[in-house]
Amino acid sequence: MLRNYLKTALRNLWKHKLFSFINVFGLASGMLVCLLAMIDIKGAFDYDSFHPHTDRTYRILTDVTDKANDERAFATTPLPLADDLSRNYPFVEATTRVIRQYGEATANRKQLQVIASAVDPGFFTVFGFRLAAGQAATAPGTVVLTRQTAERFFGTANPVGKVLEHTGLGPLTITGVFAKPPTKTHLNFDMVVSMATLSTPDWQRKRADWTQYSQGYTYVLLKPNTPTETLEASLPALASRVTTGIRFATEKGYTFRTQALARISPSREDLMYATYEPTAGKLEAELGVGLLTLLLAAFNYINLTLARSLSRAREVGIRKVAGAMRWQLMGQFMAESVILSVLGLGLAYGMLQLVKPMPFVQQWLIGDSQWETNSTLWTVFVVFSVVTGLLAGLLPARVLSGFQPAQVLRSQTGLKAFRGVTLRKSLIVAQFSISLLAMIALLAMARQQQFMATADYGFQREGLLTIPLNGMPPARLSAQISQLAGVDRVAATVALFGDHGGNWQKVYRQKAKSDSSITDVFAADANLIPTAGLTLVAGQNMPQSASDTASNQVLINEEAVRTFKLGEPKAAVGQTLWLSDSTEVQIAGVVKDFQFTTMVWKIRPLILRYQPGDFRYLTVKVAGGNPESVKADIARIWKRLNPYEPFAGQWYDDFLYNRHSHTDDLSFMGLLLGLAMSIACLGLLGMVTYTTALRTKEVGVRKVMGASVGQVVWLLSWDFLRLLLIAGTIAMPLGYLASSFFLMTFAYHITVGVGLLGLCFGTMLLLGGLTISWRTYRTALTNPVNSLRNE
């Protein structure tokens, strides 16, 4: 019987090729997104699976209660906790702390941003990071690099034994190189430094301070056969013991709890100072998008199958008269649906191979996941496709198999739904509503990113060339560039405007008071003001001198004047502020507000200070002429001074555009939108094709009676165009609300107006109208003689 089902199903699918193609393509499009989501979900659960003792390794979390009785969970703990657990609890086999350190490292004439993790010797026991070369870093001033970091600094050369200079940790001797881990890990780092390296008095104090619970992460390896409850039960008493007598500033206290290493990824709760594991919300959103796209395809299958209900109803009637049972008819229809779904899975795999190289897919979805050779995952794929086919075919199978032979063999009763609106039309409206909603949201995102890439940030961006120094002394390079014809000025800065800013820190109005505000202290020289076209509203520029005293003369922006309540800009000149390191600085001038970070944040307080040790970029102002020629001359100077490092200069316009446009992300989201719109249009095409086929004789009669081609096209099209109008009425308000909520996350953003909504609605009408008119026009051109010949 099953063989007969399959044979009959294949014949039916081959007989109706257009409908079969529409269904296979639609199901494949939905499955493509679902496959990407399932691969990413599998990768999320594979995090840290390569460690040797995942069943008895735990991270300690800190639950902090403030004086308003609000609780917050921290992924971090006080630094003394690891030593206390090792010393006082015999069921603990090993502990380790991980302290993240951000900064720059210099080696082999290269200066790069790196993420360092300071760890205890137990790190190499608790975790399973294997060494490809050398040995673990346990002595003071030693470091182990990841393979990628070693290649960034040294290429293919062996780095073991060489010295790397870190801005915050000093000189570090490389003792080893990690092998690439088999799976991803929540412990994302570029290098691992021995904890003994942190030996300054400040670090010694932090390592004994129980009040600071945000300094580092604590991991515990229990002895074999030790139940989790043993560790969990000991933590409340431990927290009570170590906090007795402590007077917190803003907290009532804290407690500890465990988190199994295998449960860290995906993250199921919002933790302060979380690590790099994916969140459950991200995975749920991905799967939701995939299932929504698949739902559109399932709508198509239901829609087209019910559209063919008249012809299939006669088939059902004849089969029932011949003695077929209802469950046998349902089996036949379900077999067709499953075959379509399996064919869709094959096409989805082919489409996956095409989108796999896309940067967005590699970075955010499948990445390094080993999925193509995973038999379990392929079993899930196949089962998923079969279940999809069964669910998609269930409703049509029940409806079609329920027809009564006497009714369907003597009449042509259509399938009715609630209040005279057919189910088929409702599904078309749902498809185009979802597609239009996605189109509005995507266009709003694209326009916001275009706005951020091209907006007026308040500083000059044309004719500016940015050069990352990568460890080269700025004075030497600046002196030679300044002598070139076509170069107007050269400024040195710590970072580039329009990015993340410089160095956020607390700045105080008075040294002895708590009137602080988070302020960006941005290292720059006096050339920055004329180079970037900034405006001084009061006072004067910072000194040109390279002496140490020059760093005490600073510029602030107007927002800093308001934040520190310094009165008018003129009154602020000459007043003083205190930096977080207790340095007193004097205000030399006030700069007009400009956007020195991204458009996500409002303009914040800013201090421009001369700090030559922090300079990381040169900004060159090119005066007219041939800017590309000047850039080539600068590249030659760079090559002469630093032959081992490629020249990475780019125009400021290009930097801001690349920083904010996110074309890779938009390309992938555009692909999803294209799939959704294609599914909707193909479903509409199938419906129009079938409906016009039923009305061929009507068209012939009308043409014989004198109807024009245009009148026939309008007659056949109006019912479907009305569905598109209904979809627009539903989707445009929802799209406006969704886009507005998204744009509210930006301090400066575009507005969703009539133009944007009208463009999306017009595009949907154009695509839907072309789909409808193409088929109805062909039907309207049919010769009446051919359609009426058999009457």
Alpha-carbon gap, residue 360 to 376, rounded angstroms: 25
Element (H, E) at 561: helix 558-563
- Separation in Å, CA 182 to CA 11, 366, 372, 668, 776: 47, 14, 15, 27, 57
Please report how many Cα atoms fall inside a 13 Å half-sphere around the Cα of residue 492, on the Cβ side. Answer: 24
Pairing assessment for the beta strands 142-145 and 170-178 based on DSSP bridges: parallel
Beta pairing partners, 618: 467, 492
Alpha-carbon gap, residue 611 to 560, rounded angstroms: 19
Structure tokens at 788: 């009426």
Is the separation of the CB atoms in 126 and 223 below 8 Å?
no
Order of strands, sheet of 464-468, starting from the edge strand that comes earlier in the sequence:
487-493, 617-622, 464-468, 650-651
Higher-confidence position of 784 and 407: 784
Q: What is the pLDDT of residues 200-240, one digit of tens each?
A: 888 888 888 898 888 899 999 999 999 999 999 999 999 99
Higher-confidence position of 592 and 400: 592
Residue with tokens 């570090």: 172
| Three-point CA angle 251, 255, 261, nearest 5° | 130
Q: What are the boundaries of each domain within the chain? A: 2-37+282-446+664-788, 55-263, 471-647
DSSP labels, 294-310? HHHHHHHHHHHHHHTHH
Q: What is the mean pLDDT of residues 607-636?
A: 89
Give the CA radius of gyration of the chain.
34
Rounded to the nearest integer, the mean pLDDT of the chain is: 84
According to the model, what pLDDT value does residue 785 have? 65
Residue with tokens 């992460």: 217
Closest CA to 364 of 373, 372, 355: 355
pTM reported for the whole predicted model: 0.73
Alpha-carbon gap, residue 683 to 427, rounded angstroms: 10
Whether pLDDT at 58 is above 80:
yes
Residue with tokens 């001359």: 633
Q: What is the pLDDT of residues 458-473, one digit of tens each?
A: 998 888 999 998 778 8
Whether pLDDT at 483 is above 80:
yes
According to the model, what pLDDT value does residue 545 have? 64
Higher-confidence position of 602 and 702: 602
Closest CA to 501 of 567, 574, 557: 557
Alpha-carbon gap, residue 442 to 375, rounded angstroms: 36
Cis peptide leading into 359, omega within 30 of 0? no
When mean pLDDT is compared across 43-52, 280-289, 405-414, the lowest value belongs to 405-414
DSSP class of 423: H
Please report how many Cα atoms fall inside a 13 Å half-sphere around the Cα of residue 756, on the Cβ side. Answer: 22
Handedness of CA 422, 423, 427, 433 (dihedral sign): positive
Query: What is the amino acid identity at position 556?
Result: I
Task: Compute how many other C-beta atoms are within 10 angstroms of the C-beta atom of residue 398.
Answer: 14
Q: Let me know if 220 is exposed, middle or buried by CB neighbors in 10 A (0-12, 13-18, 19+).
A: buried
According to the model, what pLDDT value does residue 418 have? 34
Q: What is the pLDDT of residues 520-542, one digit of tens each?
A: 999 999 999 999 999 999 999 98
Closest CA to 529 of 519, 520, 539: 539
| Phi, then psi, of 398 in degrees rounded to 5 | -65, -40
Beta pairing partners, 521: 503, 607
When mean pLDDT is compared across 104-108, 476-480, 547-551, the lowest value belongs to 547-551
Alpha-carbon gap, residue 309 to 399, rounded angstroms: 9
Long-range residue pairs from 150-158, CB within 8 A, at least 24 positions apart, any chain? 150/174, 150/177, 152/110, 152/112, 153/105, 153/107, 153/108, 153/110, 153/112, 154/107, 154/108, 158/133
Structure tokens at 259: 């988190």
Closest CA to 143 of 101, 94, 111, 184: 101
Q: What is the pLDDT of residues 395-428, one digit of tens each?
A: 777 777 776 666 555 554 444 433 334 666 787 8
Q: Is 373 helix (H, G, I), strand (E, B) or coil?
A: coil
Structure tokens at 341: 């779904």
What percent of the chain lies above the pLDDT cut of 90? Answer: 33
Alpha-carbon gap, residue 109 to 154, rounded angstroms: 10
Is the separation of the CB atoms in 738 and 440 below 8 Å?
yes
Q: What is the pLDDT of residues 115-169, one digit of tens each?
A: 999 999 999 999 999 999 999 999 999 999 999 999 989 888 899 999 998 888 8
Pairing assessment for the beta strands 57-66 and 251-260 based on DSSP bridges: antiparallel
Query: What is the amino acid identity at position 287?
Result: L
Q: What is the mean pLDDT of residues 436-452?
A: 88
Is the separation of the CB atoms in 322 and 631 below 8 Å?
no
Burial 432-461 (b: 16+ CB within 10 A, else e): bbbbbbbbbbbbbbbbbbebbbebebbbeb
